[in-house]
Structure 1
Amino acid sequence: MNVSMPRFDQGRVLVIGDLMLDRYWHGDTSRISPEAPVPVVKVGSQEDRPGGAANVALNVRALGAPASLIGLVGADDAGRALEKQLSSAGIYCDFAVTEDEPTVTKLRVLSRHQQLIRLDFEEAFHRDHSQAIAQRMSNLINHTDVVIISDYAKGTLSSVEQLINTARNAGKVVLVDPKGTDFQRYAGATLLTPNLSEFEAVVGHCSCERELVKRGQALIEKLQLEALLVTRSEQGMTLIRPGLEEIHYPARAREVYDVTGAGDTVISTLAAALASGETMATSVALANIAAGIVVAKLGTAAISAPELRRKVMAEQGAEQGVVAEDQLMIALEEARTEGESIVFTNGCFDILHAGHVGYLEEARSKGDRLVLAVNSDDSVRRLKGDGRPINPVERRMAVLAGLAAVDWVIPFDEDTPERIIRAVKPDVLVKGGDYTVETVVGAEFVQSYGGRVELMPFLDACSTTLIVDKIKADAEQG
């Protein structure tokens, strides 16, 4: 599946669910306690991270999407620390504060990147806070595109049915990360994202793919869902929709360090992509790639848009070489995020010679990245006449992509590269010295936003036409 990076900033996501503070103590271990057969950890550093629904919101915001968060916290230091950290990340927090119930806190003790023990400081919220949560949702529902229900069974979502109905009646997409075996309470949502064990706890053990899909379709019909996404660890993910063939997404991670928060990453990326206008299938593909990144990290961690973009580029083969136009746009966005300048040039490059190599090396020196647009065979034929090109465009691009000076090679079929120049919007437009700035295609456009136009000299007595003429002459004499 061809996947590109969405404009995450174009969609708004509201997260409602159980909030937690994940606390980490890091230290060295060099001895066993004389009191019991356990390692002694000399704590050297402490770290607090948002967990549960808070981690979901943090993931949404890290991708660049506007995020709002509703949940319950205690009137304590953990609740205040959680809100301060989330607000500083640009998340709009509308928390209901309970005076006699603590903020859910989980303490993990780690040494040498290994988790030794987890200590939970929590009591499920027993009092009815449903109206406080519902009122906050009503205040924000018209300012969002996608709603995430993040259920960790801590008591925040005691009226989840009401929340789903409110969102669906407002025409919003509702994604649910479910908990427990009573999935009926999520009826009417757009999509559920259970992991395989959660799914099988509800529908029974699935001995094969066909059975999984069949039982998934039955669950969709029963709960009146639009889709079901079953996350399956090392087996990837399966997207099931009524009336459509299922889609299996393979696992992306090569090495798994920690699955903590992976489900949060999946649903947050899925929501941000849907909110920005992507299709369900493409949004799940992006979520699958994001999950592969996060499980290679330690603890709950939000992945950034540049991280995801780099991974998407690698998946699409757009890091360097011959690329399609949509792949090039992803690569350019990543390069510009890193502060790199873009140089653009174009040509037929029918028979590569020393003049071409010197020209491209000189062009590359004008910036950080070089985009080379190559005329298609039909385009060359219209410009050069019958008998040209000597080499088809696939071979020409393959050779050019092998040059150290060239980052990306892209074909174009028009007589001029003006359309691609407008799409690329290069910082520097380069053309050979046989042109003047006034005659360079795209020069006026590049100069209109402050870009430069550079003319590069050609190596004397080097041209494809001269080489072709010499070969013909030698053949006639022979």
Structure 2
Amino acid sequence: MLAAVPDFSNVRVVVVGDVMLDRYWSGQVARISPEAPVPIVRIKTIDDSIGGAGNVALNIAKLGGKVTLLGVIGDDAEGQIISNLLQAAGVVCDFVVEKNTRSICKLRVMAQHQQLIRMDFEDTPLSFNKDDLLTRLLRYLPGSQAVVFSDYNKGTLVDVATYIDYAKQADVKVLVDPKSSDYQHYAKADVITPNLSEFQAVVGACDDEEDLLAKGQALLKHYQIDTLLLTRSEAGMTLIQEAQTHSMPAQAKDVFDVTGAGDTVIAVMALGVAVNLPLSDAMHLSLLAAGVVVGKLGTATVSVQELTRAMHGERDSKYGVVSEDELDVLLTIAKANGERIIMTNGCFDLLHAGHVTYLEQAKALGDRLIVAVNSDQSVKQLKGESRPINGLQERMTVLAALACVDWVVAFNEQTPERLYCRLLPDVIVKGGDYSLEQVAGGDCVIKSGGEVKILQFVDCQSTTAMINKARGIE
């Protein structure tokens, strides 16, 4: 499973499909109209957002990918708003603009966060020169890793089979979010992402899980599609391929609005496919991202920070005893979230109250505390053949159980200089009578903008004193 959100900054994706404006008029209801038995909404705010294929493109841009959006808009005010919102978010737009076509707009009237009515303004199926859209697609396929066809059945993708053929010839991965029940339009796609109702509209009702998987694999074979990612609402997602299947349950979460969740799913899948993630990992990211957006009102996107928090929660799923490589990844996430990293080191052979007080004081200096622990061999070199009393794993396990400690990592050298210079925490903390110049690795951390702090140990508390006392030595 992934330990971090991949870097999508070098990914180029083309999104083609039905673009629309989602408009929200929100206010309060205090009375019923005397003219008819309907609520009167006193409008307080008007918000515009992008729906359809535009929302797919926005999700890709929000996660750092480079995205170009192709579609059809009218030569009207709504079309201009669509273009302005997308370009402000970093989406490259190359639309076919039709003078005699109305831009698709969905107006939702909201009160107390509840939708009272939706009004659709559209002239569909869209009328436009199909060659204009194909010309644009052929312009952007070279250099792209993936193309997403976002079909909302408004007419933009009436020739999607042709577009898929050209994309396959250009060796670009093809992902489709389908609306048509005729999957011949989507034949030879790499990934297709229907929801359960869309899927059953094509294959028929599924009696049980075995029947669902069998029908999914038969559909893939019939239409020469490589992968089916089936979104199943509260049941999560199922990844179906010809030779294998893989399911993941949805994570329990408050759901405010499922609008646009499918856009987020295919956007994240496209990014994952573009960087060659295993499809199961791409599905996992998509599931987490969908869980974020359904907790928001209206069409929404997910950021890298939100996806990272969804992956790791308030405290990262990998905490406690970690390897050096794992810690490197976790620190990248923590630093990206603006967390202040504190690090200390020692043998911690017999943990005592002095150690605990010292570690709590160190943690108070920042957000995350890392404790680097000497290996058994390095303890022997420092303390003699009779030490350590407790082995490395025992010492690390006890440290990891402390509430103030986030991560514990081992090192084999007599000093942690190499480790500090690799990880570059914000602060190195040492206890005792060290001078700043004596702290191993301190120069690396200081040069990188960090600092070194010296804390005093608690008086009359030491491992040696505990050992001597146990041996009856005053």
TM-score normalised to structure 2 length: 0.91
1:93: how far off? 0.9
State the alpha-carbon separation in 2 of the partners of residues 72 and 32 from structure 1: 40
Amino acid corresponding to residue 314 of structure 1 in structure 2: G
The answer for the alignment partner of 1:42 in structure 2 is 42
The answer for the alignment partner of 1:409 in structure 2 is 407
State the alpha-carbon separation in 1 of the partners of residues 246 and 150 from structure 2: 24
Q: Is the 8 A contact 1:3 1:316 kept in 2?
A: no
SS of 1:289's partner is helix
Question: Are 1:427 and 2:426 matched, yes or no?
Answer: yes
SS of 2:210's partner is helix
SS of 1:155's partner is coil
- Relative distance call for 1:36 and 1:248 in structure 2 (3 A) is same
The answer for the alignment partner of 2:445 in structure 1 is 446
Amino acid corresponding to residue 337 of structure 1 in structure 2: A
1:25: how far off? 0.6
The answer for the alignment partner of 1:359 in structure 2 is 358
Q: Is the 8 A contact 1:309 1:330 kept in 2?
A: no
State the alpha-carbon separation in 2 of the partners of residues 319 and 33 from structure 1: 57
Q: Is the 8 A contact 2:399 2:408 kept in 1?
A: no
State the alpha-carbon separation in 1 of the partners of residues 269 and 422 from structure 2: 27
Q: Is the 8 A contact 2:4 2:330 kept in 1?
A: no
Q: Is the 8 A contact 2:17 2:156 kept in 1?
A: yes
SS of 2:94's partner is strand
Matches within 5 A, 1:56-75: 56-75=56-75
- Relative distance call for 1:373 and 1:5 in structure 2 (3 A) is farther
State the alpha-carbon separation in 2 of the partners of residues 146 and 418 from structure 1: 44
CA distances 1:357-407 after superposition (whole Å, capped 9, x unpaired): 23223433444432223345676567656665444555544543454543x
SS of 2:370's partner is strand
Matches within 5 A, 1:323-362: 328-329=327-328, 331-362=330-361
- Relative distance call for 1:221 and 1:316 in structure 2 (3 A) is farther
- Relative distance call for 1:272 and 1:379 in structure 2 (3 A) is farther
In structure 2, the gaps of 5 or more residues are none
- Relative distance call for 1:108 and 1:444 in structure 2 (3 A) is same
Moved more, 176-185 or 118-127: 118-127
Question: Are 1:230 and 2:227 matched, yes or no?
Answer: no
Moved more, 397-406 or 257-266: 397-406
1:119: how far off? 0.6
The answer for the alignment partner of 2:188 in structure 1 is 188
State the alpha-carbon separation in 2 of the partners of residues 377 and 232 from structure 1: 51
Q: Is the 8 A contact 2:16 2:69 kept in 1?
A: yes
1:125: how far off? 4.0
Amino acid corresponding to residue 33 of structure 2 in structure 1: S
- Relative distance call for 1:205 and 1:392 in structure 2 (3 A) is farther
- Relative distance call for 1:38 and 1:70 in structure 2 (3 A) is same
SS of 1:10's partner is coil
Q: Is the 8 A contact 1:313 1:327 kept in 2?
A: no
State the alpha-carbon separation in 1 of the partners of residues 42 and 324 from structure 2: 54
CA RMSD of aligned residues (A): 2.6
Q: Is the 8 A contact 1:217 1:240 kept in 2?
A: yes
The answer for the alignment partner of 2:30 in structure 1 is 30
Q: Is the 8 A contact 1:321 1:402 kept in 2?
A: yes
CA distances 1:46-70 after superposition (whole Å, capped 9, x unpaired): 1000000001111111112222111
In structure 1, the gaps of 5 or more residues are none
Question: Are 1:274 and 2:273 matched, yes or no?
Answer: yes
State the alpha-carbon separation in 1 of the partners of residues 419 and 233 from structure 2: 41
SS of 1:9's partner is coil
Q: Is the 8 A contact 2:110 2:116 kept in 1?
A: yes
The answer for the alignment partner of 1:241 in structure 2 is 241
Q: Is the 8 A contact 1:310 1:334 kept in 2?
A: no
The answer for the alignment partner of 1:117 in structure 2 is 117
State the alpha-carbon separation in 2 of the partners of residues 381 and 6 from structure 1: 41
The number of residues matched between the two structures is 473
Q: Is the 8 A contact 1:265 1:291 kept in 2?
A: yes
Moved more, 352-361 or 221-230: 352-361
1:26: how far off? 0.4
State the alpha-carbon separation in 1 of the partners of residues 334 and 364 from structure 2: 16
TM-score normalised to structure 1 length: 0.91
1:221: how far off? 1.5
The answer for the alignment partner of 2:19 in structure 1 is 19
CA distances 1:129-152 after superposition (whole Å, capped 9, x unpaired): 321111111211123222111111
The answer for the alignment partner of 2:90 in structure 1 is 90
Amino acid corresponding to residue 56 of structure 1 in structure 2: V
Q: Is the 8 A contact 2:4 2:333 kept in 1?
A: no
The answer for the alignment partner of 1:369 in structure 2 is 368
State the alpha-carbon separation in 1 of the partners of residues 218 and 310 from structure 2: 35
Q: Is the 8 A contact 2:446 2:452 kept in 1?
A: yes
SS of 2:215's partner is helix
Q: Is the 8 A contact 1:130 1:157 kept in 2?
A: no
The answer for the alignment partner of 1:202 in structure 2 is 202
State the alpha-carbon separation in 2 of the partners of residues 142 and 300 from structure 1: 30
State the alpha-carbon separation in 2 of the partners of residues 316 and 217 from structure 1: 39
SS of 2:373's partner is strand
Moved more, 194-203 or 455-464: 455-464
CA distances 1:236-276 after superposition (whole Å, capped 9, x unpaired): 00001222x31111012422121110101111111123323
The answer for the alignment partner of 2:298 in structure 1 is 299
Q: Is the 8 A contact 2:3 2:329 kept in 1?
A: no
State the alpha-carbon separation in 1 of the partners of residues 418 and 211 from structure 2: 50
The answer for the alignment partner of 1:135 in structure 2 is 135
- Relative distance call for 1:93 and 1:220 in structure 2 (3 A) is same
State the alpha-carbon separation in 2 of the partners of residues 378 and 197 from structure 1: 61
- Relative distance call for 1:381 and 1:15 in structure 2 (3 A) is farther
1:320: how far off? 6.1
The answer for the alignment partner of 1:458 in structure 2 is 457
Percent identical residues = 48
State the alpha-carbon separation in 1 of the partners of residues 265 and 51 from structure 2: 14
State the alpha-carbon separation in 2 of the partners of residues 288 and 394 from structure 1: 35
SS of 1:21's partner is strand
Amino acid corresponding to residue 369 of structure 1 in structure 2: R
SS of 1:431's partner is strand
State the alpha-carbon separation in 2 of the partners of residues 318 and 179 from structure 1: 37
Q: Is the 8 A contact 1:253 1:295 kept in 2?
A: no
State the alpha-carbon separation in 1 of the partners of residues 91 and 159 from structure 2: 24
1:473: how far off? 3.0
- Relative distance call for 1:387 and 1:241 in structure 2 (3 A) is farther
The answer for the alignment partner of 2:215 in structure 1 is 215
The answer for the alignment partner of 2:8 in structure 1 is 8
1:443: how far off? 3.2
Q: Is the 8 A contact 1:3 1:286 kept in 2?
A: no
State the alpha-carbon separation in 1 of the partners of residues 408 and 203 from structure 2: 49
